[in-house]
Amino acid sequence: MEYISVILAAGEGTRMKSEKSKVLHEAAGRPLLGWVLGAVRGVETRKDIVVCGRAIDEIRATYGDGVEYAEQKERLGSGHAVMCARGHLEGFAGYTLIVAGDMPLLRAETIQAMTDFASGEHCDCVLLTAMLDQPAGYGRIIRNKSGNVEAIVEEKDALSEQKEIGEVNASCYCVKNDVLLRCLDRLSPDNAQQEYYLTDIVELINEDGGIVKAFVVEDNAECLGVNDRVQLAEAARILRERINVAHMRGGVTLIDPGSTYIDPDTYIGADTTIYPGVTLEKGCEIGGGCTLYPGSRISAAVVGAGTTVQNSVLLDAKVGENCMVGPNAYLRPGTVIGNNCRIGDFVEVKNSTIGDGTKVSHLTYVGDADLGKNINVGCGVVFVNYDGKRKFRSKIGDDVFIGCNTNLISPVNVGEGAYIAAGTTLTDDMPDDSFAIGRVRQTTKTNWKDKRG
């Protein structure tokens, strides 16, 4: 069976009190809409249509050609939103999934089970429902004696006895596309809100002798919609918990899962230990047997097996195996660190490569440079890569010793085995095995203290 999805994302999200579209607010490192797309794509949808309101340009800028777009210029209800996508639905012979764009907790496994149920039971329509102890605010599910769904009654239109029903509509539908198109032609705004309710398709399908069933979700949290920042935080908490549990079951130790923030699509190898206050963003790759100490932020970075990171920031950088990073190191984009390296406290590396076994221990800036293997970089070394207009690159060969407080005025090339004395300002290239010293000769004046007046 083939599927397409229609994701309803035209809501204004006024309770978010934000200029940003509600569905683009992030929960656990991914926009709400991204979580919904991930869920529906679990059944390998043929295409995904996002129904947008005024934020169509903002959503298009985020998702580009990865989805198709329909615009709902007027807010006339959920049925009207699907009507706006009609041009994308014509000629399709499978099932259409209709999902609210603010349901980030919906799982791909639930969508798969729901669609399997729809095709296995030969249903014209299947609704995702939840059983709630406090159903106020939700549309109630009205079943007939055989257990099929007769209607969905919205809260504002429900009779007092209908409001006692605990089974509610979760705003997720799986409908035969040809059936859906016929129903859209017959929707009417004859209700308290004077809107086109998508829920009315249930009665229309029943009038035509079709089969409408409900699929009850196992975890009611999946039906949580996000309408304000409080609900956004709650959704993010649940998503982070799911992510952390999956990593722990995969062999990762989280000292305090509640204070560990891991974005989706992050890989962490077995036997890695992560301490409280660590943030892993944008699909990091952490090797096995690593130790990430408190206060580290690692974003879009790769950390090799056996490496230790202490209280440091790694942004779009790559660190090899069995390295020591930090405390308080800052690895900026374009940084590639080899194996068995030491990048110490208050070291900043930007757009540079550092070879195996090289030690950059403390208080140093390495920018736009290529360092070879087994180099010792002393304290307070600065690669001076910018002349106020342009940036320049330097190259340092293997087995070089760079003394403390050295300034390398880029571009310079330093040959293998060279030795640069502490305090040198290096302006010229150095051949292999050479020695450079470039500092003012010391002058000592005796009895000077007494002559200061």
Question: CA 255 to CA 298: how far, in whole Å?
Answer: 17
Q: Is the dihedral of CA 235, 239, 245, 251 positive or negative?
A: negative
Strand duo 407-409 + 425-426: pairing: parallel
Q: How far is CA 344 from the centre of its chain?
A: 29
Question: CA 98 to CA 43: how far, in whole Å?
Answer: 13
Among 362, 367, 361, smallest CA distance to 396 is for: 367
Question: CA 177 to CA 86: how far, in whole Å?
Answer: 10
Among 387, 307, 396, smallest CA distance to 353 is for: 396
Neighbours of 166 (CB within 10 A): 14
Q: Can you read off the two tokens belonging to residue 300?
A: 């879009």
Side-chain-side CA neighbours of residue 320 (13 Å): 16
Confirm whether 122 is a catalytic residue: no
Question: CA 320 to CA 335: how far, in whole Å?
Answer: 11
Strand partners, 68: 49
Neighbours of 192 (CB within 10 A): 9
Residues 251, 270 contacting (CB under 8 angstroms)? yes
The single residue of 25, 88, 247, 362 carrying the catalytic annotation is 362
Residue type, 191: N
Distances (CA, A) of 20 to 26, 30, 64, 207, 275: 11, 14, 17, 41, 33
Cis peptide before 327 (omega within 30 of 0): yes
Query: Helix, strand, or coil here: 7?
Result: strand
Q: Can you read off the two tokens belonging to residue 416?
A: 């293998």
Q: Can you read off the two tokens belonging to residue 9?
A: 């994302």
Question: CA 436 to CA 91: how far, in whole Å?
Answer: 77
Among 143, 145, 153, 158, smallest CA distance to 213 is for: 143
Q: Can you read off the two tokens belonging to residue 359?
A: 């030690």
Question: CA 271 to CA 282: how far, in whole Å?
Answer: 21
Distances (CA, A) of 283 to 280, 302, 331: 8, 9, 17
Q: Catalytic amino acids? A: 362
